Amino acid sequence: MKCAFCESPEIKKRTIVENDLVFAFPTNIPVVPGHLLICPKRHAAIVEELEAEELLAMVDIKNKLKKALIAVFNAEGFNYAWNEGEVAGQSVPHLHLHILPRKKGDSGIYEYEPRKFLYRPGSREKTPQDELLAISKLIASNLV
């Protein structure tokens, strides 16, 4: 298996913090200074492949990094994201959580509007309440 996150000596050299289960490093194509990736050490493509301990370890590292990013970059807010699947923008099939320290005047998407960022531009009509309730019931009835 060829995986940039599992096999890259450059990434290993850039590792900022790690524990037994996860590690974090700066991405080589940052949106803003301090844009980091947090990855499980065990190769997993999507979050459902993680053990609960691995997910908790990612959150623990995220919390530690957040404090450091506030101190280093005077971050006033954060964007967190992970993509699953090529059609959703996952370019490396190894799960990774993006953490971006944000402050007024930085580069990248400053105003986050999910309907513009994730889906399609332009106006969209609100879905009627009865349709939303039907969708809620359908999804709930398919939970396993």
30-42 confidence digits (pLDDT tens): 888 899 999 999 9
pLDDT in the model for residue 110: 56
pLDDT in the model for residue 53: 97
Quick check: 49 and 115 in contact, CB under 8 A? Answer: no
Which phi and psi (to 5°) does residue 143 adopt? -70, 140
pLDDT in the model for residue 46: 93
- Whether residue 35 lies in the annotated active site: no
Quick check: 19 and 57 in contact, CB under 8 A? Answer: yes
Return mean pLDDT, the chain: 84
Full-model pTM: 0.77
pLDDT in tens, 24-76: 999 988 888 899 999 999 999 999 999 999 999 999 999 999 999 999 999 99
Using pLDDT thresholds of 50, 70 and 90, give the confidence band for residue 90: confident
The pairing of strands 77-81 and 97-102 is antiparallel
- Separation CA 59–CA 92 (nearest Å): 20
Provide the residue type at 30 as one letter.
Answer: P
Q: Which domains are assigned to the chain?
A: 4-141 (3.30.428.10)
- Separation CA 132–CA 107 (nearest Å): 36
Candidate list 35, 43, 94, 96, residue with the active-site label: 96
